[in-house]
Structure 1
Amino acid sequence: MTSSSKLLSGFAAVAVVTLGACAALPFPHKTQAPADASLAAPTPTKLSGYLSATDIDGKALLGPPPSPDSLRGRADREAYEQTRSLQGSPRWAQAIKDNDIWQGGALERYSCALGVRLGERETPAVWKLLHRTELDVRTVGTPAKNFYNRTRPMIGDDRPICVPREDWMRTNASYPSGHAMVGWSWALILTEIQPKAADGLMSAGKAVGDSRAICGVHYPSDIEAGRTLAAAMVARLHADASFQADLAAAKAELAKAPRAEGLSCPTQ
């Protein structure tokens, strides 16, 4: 296990113990996905997501983030402070790549797990499925983000983060993590398409979320909330006929896709 994984796993364990102690338009258009400056989009498109904002109540499902003075809130803060020491490490460099969901290292992780180069040109059916799902992340995740309005960990703190500091970071809330939602939902969907690659795909989905804590732009509990909401979203997507049709097309496409050579696969 890498040092960064040990750090994040350790804070997750603290959270679990703490909680236990406390408890002794070409496609059917349903809604326009809201803008989310934290998620870099692929090439502009007329695609829309599958879901509307009322299909899942993320606010009720997640509940509020931990308060800063709670044991879990303090563990979140300690995770942020300690992971600043990873600046300049290979894991830090990979977190920078993972920041760009589409053009950076995130999509590349799933290509490596599948052994197939994923892309708009190479696998258009899979690309459409993943793109529409990413738009659903914006639709489903934004109401909870806006409602709880949790400040990101680096605001008011000048320690290094792995991406440039920008004004939107002051207003784009931290909880739940949109990147973690994308990473986990893509991992779940691609695992359904290619079950034999489950270990690699789910590891990729986890790593994309973990990169946000490494970067210093999310707390671990933001990432956990993103994965929880992503799992609910993917479950709900299976009731949508358009999603089912796109899923079937993606399965057929990947079944015939040639193995890729020369992939630059992350090691972190």
Structure 2
Amino acid sequence: MTRPVAFAAAAAVLTLGAAPLAPVADPSLAHPVATRLTGYLRPDALDGKTILGPPPAIDSPEDKADRAAYQATRALEGSPRWKQAQQDNDLWTGGAQRRLTCAMGRDLAARSLAGTRRLLHRVELDVHTVGTPPKDFYGRLRPPIGDSQPLCVPRGPWLQTNASYPSGHAMTGWAWALILAEIAPAKASALMVAGREIGQSRVVCGVHFPSDVAAGRDLGAAMVARLHADRAFQADLRAAKLELAKAPQPRDCPSA
């Protein structure tokens, strides 16, 4: 993951196997708007490489299971779960935030929740700070490298330049779910299911292996635990609890 170009669209056109690659921004690095915000954590706050350890060794039983999952999920192309995974790809305006909104019963897009969104945004920036070092250190290739099977997102140069382990989407979805579950404990079960499914969508999409997603959840949980020692995070969390207590209910949610 290359931070200076993290939020820029890739300009080059490459080819992986027989599949042409269209220019596309790295979807695992998407964020809501151009920002001067920073995360809460310093780069030395957590050692993600040590926490996770390496990904499954090539041709190990775990690696073979990962690759079998990639092959099996290609059959989901065009299914409702595939379409949901496409929506989850956009963490902010797509299905990911909507999943959490519906699970919580509070509209995270409401104007009154500017402070809550700021907290979630800073946490997402921490995902880059904490998740980038193990991605770069282990350099695991993503599942579709070398073939032309369908993915739920456009193929782009980011598939080669952004390593697979751990999944940033899984880190973000799990961290957000944990934080929101602390704010709204009565909705914790639904929120954690939503956080899990945001990560699982990356497997459905074909851009991560199951072990990448599991590692993302593990590192996301460690990151949230570390965030609780940060005074700025604690203050923002208290403010978010007050905001969300008065937030409107969402519309058009199955459970709303």
TM-score (norm 1): 0.84
Instruction: Tell me how far apart the structure 1 counterparts of residues 52 and 42 of structure 2 sit (CA, whole Å).
Output: 18
Structure 2 residue 222 is the aligned partner of structure 1 residue 232: yes
Equivalent residue runs for 1:183-198 within 5 Å: 183-198=173-188
For residue 116 of structure 1, what is the amino acid of its counterpart? R
- Among 253, 256, 259, the alignment partner of 2:246 is 256
Structure 1 residue 153: deviation in Å? 0.2
Question: What does residue 160 of structure 2 align with?
Answer: 170
Question: What is aligned with 1:6?
Answer: none
One-letter identity of the residue aligned with 1:263:
D
Q: Does 1:160 align with 2:150?
A: yes
Matches within 5 A, 1:83-98: 83-98=73-88
- Whole-angstrom CA distance in 2 between matches of 1:242 and 1:33: 25
SS of the residue 1:123 aligns to: helix
Contact in 2 for aligned 1:34/1:142 (Cα 8 Å): no
Q: CA deviation at 1:33?
A: 8.9
Provide the rounded CA distance (Å) in 1 between the counterparts of 2:116 and 2:39.
14
Report the alpha carbon displacement of residue 265 of structure 1 after superposing the two structures with TM: 5.0
CA distance in 2, matches of 1:228, 1:216: 20
> How far is 1:200 from its partner?
0.9
SS of the residue corresponding to residue 42 of structure 1 reads coil
Stretches of structure 1 lacking an aligned partner (at least 5 in a row): 1-31
Give the structure 2 partner of residue 146 of structure 1. 136
Q: 1:34 offset after TM fit, Å?
A: 7.9
Between the aligned residues of both structures, percent identity stands at 60
Corresponding position: 1:179 with 2:169: yes
Measured in 2, the distance between the counterparts of 1:78 and 1:232 equals 28
The alpha-carbon distance between structure 1 residues 34 and 203, as it changes in their structure 2 partners (threshold 3 A), is farther
Mapped to 2, the partners of 1:33 and 1:212 lie a distance apart of: 24
Superposed, which structure 2 residues align to 1:1-268 within 5 Å?
35=6, 37=26, 38-119=28-109, 121-260=111-250, 262-264=251-253
3-state SS of 2:195 partner: helix
The count of residues paired between Structure 1 and Structure 2 equals 234
RMSD: 1.6
The answer as to whether partners of 1:117 and 1:263 remain within 8 angstroms in 2 is no
1:118-141 superposed Cα distances (whole Å, 9 cap, x missing partner): 126241121011000000000000
Compute the displacement of 1:39 (Å).
Answer: 2.1
